[in-house]
Amino acid sequence: PEEEDWREKRLALIRRYEAAEKREDFIKEEKITEILARTADPPRAAVAEVLSKARELHGLNPEEAAVLLNCRDAEVWEEIFATARQIKEAVYGNRIVLFAPLYISSPCVNNCAYCGFRHTNAAVNKRTLTAEELAAEVRILTQNGHKRLIVVYGEHPVSDIDFMCRTIEKIYATKNGRGEIRRVNVNAAPLTVAEYRQLKEVGIGTYQVFQETYHHETYRKMHPANTLKGSYRWRLFALHRAMEAGIDDVAIGVLFGLYDWRFEVLGLICHALDLEREFGVGPHTISFPRLEPALNTPVASAPPYPVSDADFKKVIAVLRCAVPYTGLILTCRERPTLRREVIPLGVSQTDAGSRIAVGGYAQMAREHIPDRQQFQLGDTRSLDEFIRELCEDGYIPSFCTAGYRAGRTGCHFMSFAKKGLVKNFCLPNAVLTFKEYLLDYATPATREIGEKTIAAYVERFAQQMPQRAAVLKEMLTRMEAGERD
Residues engaged in binding ligand SF4 (CB under 6 A): 108, 110, 112, 115, 117-118, 154-155, 229
Distances (CA, A) of 324 to 35, 59, 207, 270: 22, 6, 20, 15
CB of 374 to ligand SAM, least distance (A): 5
- Name which of ligand SAM, ligand SF4, none residue 281 binds, using a CB cut-off of 5 to 8 Å depending on partner kind: none
* Residue 269 contacts residue 65 (beta carbons within 8 Å): yes
* Residue 440 contacts residue 485 (beta carbons within 8 Å): no
Q: Is 189 in the site for ligand SAM (CB under 6 A)?
A: yes
The CA distance from 446 to 198, in Å, is: 40
Which is nearer to ligand SAM, 50 or 152 (by Cβ)?
Answer: 152
Site for ligand SAM in 235-274 (CB under 6 A): 255
CB of 301 to ligand SAM, least distance (A): 9
The CA distance from 394 to 353, in Å, is: 20
Distances (CA, A) of 82 to 93, 262, 318, 322, 337: 15, 20, 11, 14, 19
Nearest to 388 by CA among 327, 449, 330: 449
- Name which of ligand SAM, ligand SF4, none residue 118 binds, using a CB cut-off of 5 to 8 Å depending on partner kind: ligand SF4
CB of 434 to ligand SAM, least distance (A): 28
Is the C-alpha dihedral spanning 49, 51, 55, 60 positive or negative?
positive
Which is nearer to ligand SAM, 154 or 359 (by Cβ)?
Answer: 154
Q: Is 374 in the site for ligand SAM (CB under 6 A)?
A: yes
- Name which of ligand SAM, ligand SF4, none residue 292 binds, using a CB cut-off of 5 to 8 Å depending on partner kind: ligand SAM
- Name which of ligand SAM, ligand SF4, none residue 300 binds, using a CB cut-off of 5 to 8 Å depending on partner kind: ligand SAM
Count of other CB atoms within 10 angstroms of residue 440: 14
Q: Is 154 in the site for ligand SAM (CB under 6 A)?
A: yes
Q: Is 152 in the site for ligand SAM (CB under 6 A)?
A: yes
The CA distance from 148 to 183, in Å, is: 5
- Name which of ligand SF4, ligand SAM, none residue 291 binds, using a CB cut-off of 5 to 8 Å depending on partner kind: ligand SAM
The CA distance from 269 to 319, in Å, is: 8
Site for ligand SAM in 129-148 (CB under 6 A): none
Size, binding site for ligand SAM by CB under 6 A:
22
Q: Is 149 in the site for ligand SAM (CB under 6 A)?
A: no
Q: Is 300 in the site for ligand SAM (CB under 6 A)?
A: yes
Q: Is 294 in the site for ligand SAM (CB under 6 A)?
A: yes
Taking CB under 6 A as the criterion, the residue among 64, 212, 274, 334 binding ligand SAM is 212
Q: Is 401 in the site for ligand SAM (CB under 6 A)?
A: no
SS3 category, 404: helix
Region binding ligand SAM by CB under 6 A among candidate stretches 35-43, 66-74, 205-213, 463-471: 205-213
Supply φ then ψ for residue 4, to 5 degrees. -65, -40
Report the number of secondary-structure helices (H) and strands (E) in the chain.
Answer: 22, 9
Nearest to 272 by CA among 101, 414, 151, 155: 414
Taking CB under 6 A as the criterion, the residue among 291, 391, 442, 454 binding ligand SAM is 291
Q: What is the full DSSP assignment across 74-99?
A: HHHHHHHHHHHHHHHHHHHTTEEEEE
Binding site for ligand SAM (CB under 6 A): 108, 114-115, 117, 152, 154-155, 187-189, 209-210, 212, 255, 289, 291-292, 294, 300, 333, 374-375
